[in-house]
Structures are given as structure tokens and as C-alpha cells.
């Protein structure tokens, strides 16, 4: 690396620069000390930041009105996923109106890059990226999320309902 040595007279005034910087630091310190409400930083983890609902965090599999999975096991999300972390096993449903459904749906969340491509690919609004982002785990935590976790984890309170309803579509003759 070539280092340009600048030995001009100007360099001798560095002390002024440093003092200026310290001044700014001091100003912020005093401002925060006397006006705590406007402080920018949070006391994580006691205080948590609320992201917008559009934040792309952990996946949610939506459910139909009867609580069953909306997913049709079309594998478009798995095909579109650049990290290839979605694994679906399809099966034949006993109800001919459903026809195909996933018997297993797994996302390897450690490989997921949270790009949201799965959400984009899904034709029936079956997978969404939720606002949840804190999912740490200790050794032995299962980071391969299955249907139970993706659709029915406790904080989803029985599942998120999908917008695309087959019954309604059939009734309107689409």
C-alpha cells in the first residue's frame, strides 16, 4: 500500500479537530442525561423495537377457515427459494376439493436468507413473512421449522387466516 505522507503545516492543527469531536460527544451526553425521553438508543432486551408489520421476519403458514393449512404443496416456494431451504412432501387429500396438501413442510431457518421470494411465489397466500425477528436458540434448538411451528406456534393464536379462499372462488365461478 502506498501511504502518502502529508507533512504540511496544516497537520499540526489536529488537536483542534479532536477537541471539536469531543465537544459533539459531550453535547449528546448532556442532552441524553437531561432529556431522557428523546434518547435514540433502546435498553435491549428489556425494551424492544416495534418494526412495521411489513418487516420480513420468520415465516407464517396461513390457514383456511377450518384451521387446516392453506398450502397446496405446489412447491413453487421451494423452487423459487434461492437458499433451497424449503422441503415439502406432498400427499393426496381425501377431500377431492383439496386434492393435494403437504404432509410435511420444513424450513431450515438457519439457511434462509429472508429474501421473501417464497412469499412472492406462493399463488394462494399460504406463506407469509411475519414481523417476528427474535428467534435465538441455545444448543440443541431445532432450527428446522415444521408445520407445527410455522402455522400453529402459540403467538399466532391458532393461525393466521389466508386471503385466498377456494370456496368463495368456486362460488363466483372462477
Shortest distance, CB of residue 78 to ligand SF4, whole angstroms? 6
In this structure, the number of other CB atoms found within 10 A of the CB of residue 148 comes to 10
Residue 150 interaction partner, one of another protein, ligand SF4, none, beta carbon < 5-8 Å per kind: none
164 binds, among another protein, ligand SF4, none (CB under 5 to 8 A by kind): none
Which range touches ligand SF4 (CB under 6 A), out of 16-24, 38-46, 110-118, 155-163?
110-118
Residues 14-33 that bind ligand SF4 (CB under 6 A): none
Nearer of residues 6 and 94 to another protein, judged by Cβ: 94
167 touching another protein, by CB under 8 A: no
Which SS3 state, helix, strand or coil, does residue 28 take?
Answer: helix
| Per CB under 8 A, 100 contacts another protein | yes
Q: Mask: binding to another protein, 25-64, rule CB under 8 A, as x and -?
A: ----------------------------------------
Sequence-separated (6 or more) residues with CB below 8 Å from residue 55: 129, 131, 133
Strand locations in 74-167, DSSP E?
A: 86-92, 100-108, 127-129, 144-145
Q: Quick one: CA dihedral 90, 110, 129, 77, positive or negative?
A: negative
> Is residue 133 near ligand SF4 by the rule CB under 6 A?
no
Q: Does 63 bind ligand SF4 (CB under 6 A)?
A: no
Spatial separation of the C-alpha atoms in residues 170 and 98, rounded to whole Å: 12
Q: Under the criterion CB under 8 A, does residue 143 sit at the interface with another protein? A: no
Which candidate, 127, 144, 145, places its Cα nearest to that of 71? 127
Q: Is 170 among the residues that bind another protein (CB under 8 A)?
A: yes
* Beta pairing partners, 105: 88
Nearest residue to 69 (alpha-carbon basis) of 155, 174, 149, 154: 149
3-class SS at 107?
strand
User: Under rule CB under 6 A, which residues in 73-92 are in contact with ligand SF4?
Assistant: 73-77, 80-83, 85-86, 88
Query: What residues make contact with another protein under the rule CB under 8 A?
Result: 72-76, 78-79, 84, 90-92, 96-97, 99-100, 123-124, 170, 172-174
Amino acid at each position: 500500500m502506498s501511504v502518502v505522507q502529508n507533512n504540511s503545516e496544516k497537520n499540526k492543527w489536529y488537536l483542534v479537530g479532536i477537541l471539536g469531536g469531543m465537544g459533539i460527544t459531550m453535547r449528546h451526553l448532556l442532552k441524553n442525561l437531561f432529556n431522557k425521553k428523546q434518547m435514540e438508543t433502546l435498553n435491549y432486551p428489556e425494551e424492544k423495537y416495534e418494526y412495521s408489520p411489513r418487516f420480513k421476519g420468520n415465516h407464517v403458514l396461513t390457514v383456511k377457515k377450518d384451521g387446516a393449512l392453506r398450502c397446496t404443496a405446489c412447491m413453487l416456494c421451494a423452487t423459487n427459494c434461492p437458499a433451497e431451504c424449503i422441503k415439502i412432501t406432498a400427499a393426496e387429500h381425501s377431500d377431492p376439493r383439496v386434492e393435494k396438501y403437504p404432509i410435511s413442510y420444513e424450513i431450515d431457518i438457519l439457511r434462509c436468507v429472508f429474501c421473501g421470494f417464497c412469499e412472492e411465489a406462493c399463488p394462494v397466500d399460504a406463506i407469509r413473512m411475519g414481523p417476528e425477528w427474535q428467534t435465538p436458540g441455545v444448543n440443541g434448538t431445532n432450527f428446522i421449522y415444521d408445520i407445527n411451528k410455522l402455522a400453529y406456534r402459540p403467538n399466532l393464536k391458532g393461525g393466521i387466516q389466508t386471503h385466498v379462499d377456494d370456496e368463495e372462488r368456486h362460488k363466483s365461478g372462477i
